[in-house]
Structure 1
């Protein structure tokens, strides 16, 4: 059975999944990892989702305010055991629903070119590529996306 739980960045299961995510990203990003790590702190994220399969945490994601109308999707991860089951889409959909409930009109996000699975996930879920924003402007490995939420 799959259950989604809304929580925050203090949740132990969220922290444990983010640790696995960071290890995966360190391997994929190599020398670039230090640059990205500075933007991926999870202190005080108030809107996080953890997905459980048979009471085991298998996926997570979070949103944080980006602007008055947009939330930024952060820290999306599904453990190897949870992959190919639609868990990432379920977590992403829950984050979008939550952002909408909070009055935000869109979600934005950044991912890396070395994460083709993530790019495919976002494109499959209606995200459109945009110009790189903020700290990602001019960063060759970054790919940014945006999606207008159904009101």
Structure 2
């Protein structure tokens, strides 16, 4: 009888070999779906600052999914770099990470989470709509583009 896989989600550095590989895979997927001018990626180096917190989901120790909170001025935080490796998709890992990001943002007093995603990223749209995000116009300093969809979600500010 096999045991259930061990799932862990923790804050990690983006500079690990695991994360460098996963971000490389994510970038390749995004390049295959979206023109270069509509890709708003962050490098692992850009993710090392104090404004970014990266969560990594691991299954039996293997890096399986990631997602980050990026802090902006004015009570707004942004979702960045959400990705589940193909072998681990459909297990709810992105939602588990998203829940951790929302919890962190609310705990830090942010009033709103926003994001930009590709117009043809169906899994992303299902994730965000399922988590209570509403489609909106361009957010932050993103350009209005036929290749982008924007979402926002008001947060409960911690007392």
**Which TM-score applies when normalising by structure 1?**
0.89
Q: Which residue of 2 aligns with 1:94?
A: 100
Distance 1:123 1:60, change over 3 A: same
Task: Give the alignment partner of residue 21 of structure 1, picking from 8, 23, 26.
Answer: 26
Q: Which residue of 2 aligns with 1:145?
A: 151
Residue 104 of structure 1 deviates from its aligned partner by: 1.1
Q: Which residue of 2 aligns with 1:60?
A: 66
Residue 90 of structure 1 deviates from its aligned partner by: 0.4
Query: Is the partner of 2:91 in helix, strand or coil?
Result: coil
Instruction: Quote the Cα distance in structure 1 between the aligned partners of 2:38 and 2:127.
Output: 23
**20-29 vs 97-106, greater mean Cα deviation:** 97-106
* Pairing 1:126–2:132 present: yes
**19-28 vs 61-70, greater mean Cα deviation:** 61-70
**Which TM-score applies when normalising by structure 2?**
0.85
Q: Is the 8 A contact 1:13 1:57 kept in 2?
A: yes
Q: Which structure dedicates a bigger proportion of its chain to helix?
A: 1
Q: Is the 8 A contact 1:69 1:104 kept in 2?
A: yes
Tell me the number of residue pairs that the alignment of Structure 1 and Structure 2 aligns: 148
Q: Is the 8 A contact 1:9 1:47 kept in 2?
A: no
* Pairing 1:41–2:47 present: no
Write out the 4+ residue segments of structure 1 that deviate beyond 3 Å after TM superposition: none
RMSD value, Cα: 1.6
Structure of higher CA gyration radius: 2
Residue 78 of structure 1 deviates from its aligned partner by: 0.1
User: 5+ residue gaps in structure 2?
Assistant: 1-5
Q: Which residue of 1 aligns with 2:3?
A: none
Instruction: Quote the Cα distance in structure 1 between the aligned partners of 2:79 and 2:103.
Output: 12
